[in-house]
A = this chain, B = another copy of it.
Amino acid sequence: MPLNKQLVMHIKVTVITIGDEILIGQTIDTNSSWIGRQFTAMGVRVNEIITCGDNAAQIKDALDRAKARSQIILITGGLGPTKDDVTKNTLVEYFNTELVLNEEVWERMKQYFEKYGKPVLEMNRSQAMIPKDAIMLPNMRGTAQGTWFERDGAVFVSMPGVPHEMKHLMETQVLPRLKKRFSFPKIVQAVLMTSGAGESYIANKLSTFEEQLPSHIKLAYLPELGVLKLRLTANGEGEEIITEVGKQKEELKRILTHYVYAEGEEKLEVHIGKLLLEEKATLSCAESCTGGYISHLLTSVAGSSAYFEGSVISYSYDIKQKLLGVNPNTLNSVGAVSKECVEEMLHGLLQATGTTYGIAVSGIAGPSGATPDKPVGTVWIAVGTKNKILAKSFHFFPTRMENIQVFSNAALNMLRLFIAEGN
Asked if A310 contacts B295 (CB within 8 A), the reply is: no
How many chain A residues touch B (Cβ–Cβ < 8 Å)? 77
B-facing residues in A267-317 (Cβ within 8 Å): 282, 284-285, 287, 290-296, 298-300, 302-305, 308-316
Closest B residue to A294 using CB positions: B292
Asked if B26 contacts A28 (CB within 8 A), the reply is: no
Mask for A19-46, Cβ within 8 A of B = 1, else 0?
0111111111110111111101000011
Asked if B48 contacts A51 (CB within 8 A), the reply is: yes
Asked if B310 contacts A319 (CB within 8 A), the reply is: yes
Q: How far is the CA of A130 from the CA of B249 in the complex (A)?
A: 42
**A292-B292, A309-B318, A319-B309 known; A25-B29 Cβ under 8 A:** no
> A29: which B residues are within 8 A, CB to CB?
28-29, 33
**A24-B46, A47-B23 known; A352-B323 Cβ under 8 A:** yes
Asked if A222 contacts B26 (CB within 8 A), the reply is: yes
* A368 touches B (CB below 8 Å): yes
Mask for A311-355, Cβ within 8 A of B = 1, else 0?
111111011001100000000000000000000000000001110
> A28: which B residues are within 8 A, CB to CB?
28-30, 33
* A401 touches B (CB below 8 Å): yes
> A287: which B residues are within 8 A, CB to CB?
292, 295
Asked if A310 contacts B315 (CB within 8 A), the reply is: yes
> A309: which B residues are within 8 A, CB to CB?
315-316, 318-319
* A110 touches B (CB below 8 Å): no
Given contacts A23-B45, A26-B36, A299-B315, 10 further A-B contacts (CB under 8 A): A22-B36, A23-B46, A24-B40, A25-B34, A25-B36, A29-B29, A29-B33, A287-B292, A290-B299, A323-B353
